[in-house]
Structure 1
Amino acid sequence: MRRKPGATRWQKWAWSVSALLPGAGPADWKVLREEGDSAEFHIGTLPLTLWRTDAEAYRIALAEATPCAYVVLEPSSDADRPLALKLVTANPHEAMQYSEGGDDLIEKVPMPPALIAWVQEWTDAHFVEEPFKKRKRKKYLEDKVEDGVGDPRIQQVTDVYRAPSRDRKLGSS
């Protein structure tokens, strides 16, 4: 993570994910570099787990101009460590699902060449292309019932979707 001074008086620090460190050992907010008010930290190490069911999503991520991984961070109550690692994924669809909740921060980070090669090799070994199967419509109604048709409360055959009501004669006294 990179910490820089905030742009406004309401935000003391601006935090962003600067890089992934494949093969790094365990760390807990270890300072890597400091330059004036800016600093870079190794905030933690998480495994990147690949799933066979997500192989197509990994192919999509690898097909981008710059293949990226996604780091999911959650807010922390500690002022010195405002963010905590939640997940690292190469699946853009999974990252999008985390972004819909609104509480987590998702950072898109370019993958290092060694990580790209590892994900590509794994995806090539596990991806199975499924043939497209066009869905065919059924030519009959399974339950043989049409919604609203045949409702005994409706007297008129021509207007089967109107709400049932009592007939009132207009102009009668």
Structure 2
Amino acid sequence: MPLGVVVRRSPGATRWAKWAWRAVAVMPGAGPADWIQLRGQDDTTDFHAATVPLELHGADCEAYLTGLADKAPAIYVVMRESDDTDHPFYIKLATASPYEAQDYADNGDDIVEKIMMPAGVIAWVRDFAKAHFEEEVFIKRRRDRAQIDGADNGIGDARITQLTDVYRAPTRKGEPA
């Protein structure tokens, strides 16, 4: 599903940052765009920055259901800084998976914005996740039988006769220990 990403430019809070940029909304079914101005009021401007596909994968159904169980289901928009001063961010992707969003947030190169998911997208994601979700059966792992006879096989060197230091490497005759 194509999602248009709306990015808001507002005045910066400090003298070092002239502008503050934030992804604030998504538009399901939007057409292609490249930083089209949607609205301007005072010093705040909203741009349709880009349209990116929202792709759902059957292997991520658990993540989608986890995201939908949140109080306010969200779309996560991943943005990366660009060199262009007029359009300082490149919209990398939009995802409904909180797990994938966490992976991008952890890498340090990307900015991840959490945006409220529109009702139509909630229904689409929910229907997909319910159709493709397969609960994984839990299988408890059994431990290997432990050797409890007291023999420490593989510890130390059998050529060393001293019991006080079984980890010391053997030396040649005449060499200091």
Question: TM-score per shorter chain, which class?
Answer: 0.7 to 0.9
Cα shift at 1:46: 0.6
Aligned twin of 2:80: 74
Work out the CA distance in 2 between the residues paired with 1:150 and 1:4: 68
Return structure 1 stretches of 4+ with deviation > 2 angstroms. 145-148, 150-160, 162-169
Aligned twin of 1:127: 133
Change (3 A) 1:36 1:153: farther
> When the two structures are superposed, what TM-score results if normalisation uses the length of structure 1?
0.86
Cα shift at 1:150: 4.5
Residues 1-173 of structure 1 aligned to structure 2 (within 5 Å): 1-140=7-146, 148-152=154-158, 154-157=160-163, 159-160=165-166, 162-164=167-169
> When the two structures are superposed, what TM-score results if normalisation uses the length of structure 2?
0.85
Q: Secondary structure at the match of 2:61?
A: helix
Quote the sequence identity (%).
49
Change (3 A) 1:114 1:163: farther
The number of equivalent residue pairs is 165
More strand by share: 2
Please, which runs of 5 or more residues in structure 1 have no aligned partner? none
Work out the CA distance in 2 between the residues paired with 1:102 and 1:154: 52
Work out the CA distance in 2 between the residues paired with 1:45 and 1:7: 28
Please, which runs of 5 or more residues in structure 2 have no aligned partner? 1-6
1:108-163 deviation per Cα after TM superposition (whole angstroms, max 9, x unaligned): 1110000001000000100011111111111157xxx9675152465434654x45
CA contact (8 A) 1:73 1:85 kept: yes
CA contact (8 A) 1:28 1:43 kept: yes
**Cα RMSD (Å):** 2.3
